[in-house]
Structure 1
Amino acid sequence: MKKATAIILLLVYLFGSTDAGQLLKFPLLVEHFKKHKQENVQMTLLTFLKLHYVDEQPFDDDYQQDMQLPFKTPDIICMTLHTVIPPTPVTLFTPVIELPREDYLIINDGPPPCRLPDNVFQPPKSLSASLS
């Protein structure tokens, strides 16, 4: 009894919340294929599937039947219920702390060491070039 109940609940879930319900339209696919096969003897199953699922769907005489095939149109049955609970007003109290203003003495006011002039790191020059 528990297994039967579990299977029934699983089927209700699968057919109600997923696209598994589209599989129930499979007999329509078979009948529609038979109809096309009678009209065109050369039509294969792959040609039929390409015509109805890959190619652009023309608006022809059997357009309504084409749209009833499985996985052509979504069946949106699932309803959602949204409950809105208004938020309670929240007031935040953040104390303002005034820090005393202090003056700081800057000892090294020159450029940082990585910004030293390029002439510090040059190869040594000859004595005669430096005297001129």
Structure 2
Amino acid sequence: MKKATAILLLFVYLFGSTEASQLLKFPLLVEHFKKHKQENIHITLASFLKMHYLDEQPFDKDYQQDMQLPFKTVDIICMTLPTVIPAPVTLFTPVIELPEEDYFILNDGPPPYRLPDNVFQPPKSVSAQLS
């Protein structure tokens, strides 16, 4: 029962809001081809389709029948517009509180860039070192 309902709703949607309803005009295409076949026995299906769908349509005696063929005119039966309602926007940022912990410091001395001043001294002469 659910499957049949789903198929029915699918067909209602397809034929109501898309151009699939043009497929229901297929018997008109067959009848119109038979009519052309009676008038000209050498006409093929490909030449018939080219004449009615690719070539420019002259305004002749069967112009009204030509315009009733499938996919010749646009039949807008239903127009659906999808609507998206955006979620409300929040303008605050959450505050993350970090837990307070005691950290064990391994090197409690001066930082490495603060070396003692006496390490980097200009070179001394030999006589100054002997005295």
| Structure 2 CA distance for partners of 1:5 and 1:19, relative to 1, 3 Å | same
Counterparts of 1:89-100 in structure 2, within 5 Å, are none
> Does the aligned pair in 1 maintain the 2:15–2:21 contact within 8 Å?
yes
Q: Give the whole-Å Cα distance in 2 for the aligned partners of 1:3 and 1:38.
A: 45
Larger-Rg structure: 2
Give TM-score, length-normalised by structure 1. Answer: 0.60
Q: Hey, which bits of structure 1, 4+ residues long, moved more than 4 A?
A: none
Match of 1:54 in 2: 54
Where 1:52 maps in the other structure, the secondary structure is helix
1:6 aligned partner: 6
Contact kept in structure 1, 2:33 and 2:48, CA below 8 Å: yes
Deviation per CA, 1:62-116: give whole Å up to 9, x if none: 00000000000001111458xxxxxxxxxxxxxxxxxxxxxxxxxxxxxxxxxxx
Question: What percentage of aligned pairs have identical amino acids?
Answer: 84
The CA deviation string for residues 1-44 of structure 1, in whole angstroms up to 9 with x for no partner, is: 10110000000011111111100000000000000000000100
SS of equivalent to 1:61:
coil
Give 1 or 2: higher helix fraction. 1
| Relative contact order higher in (CA < 8 Å, ≥ 6 apart) | 2
Q: In structure 2, what residue type is equivalent to 1:68? A: Q
C-alpha RMSD of matched pairs (Å): 1.8
Count residues with an aligned counterpart. Answer: 83
Q: Are 1:17 and 2:17 an aligned pair?
A: yes
2:65 aligned with 1:65, yes or no?
A: yes
Task: Structure 2 unaligned segments of length 5 or more: list them.
Answer: 82-131
CA distance in 2, matches of 1:26, 1:72: 12
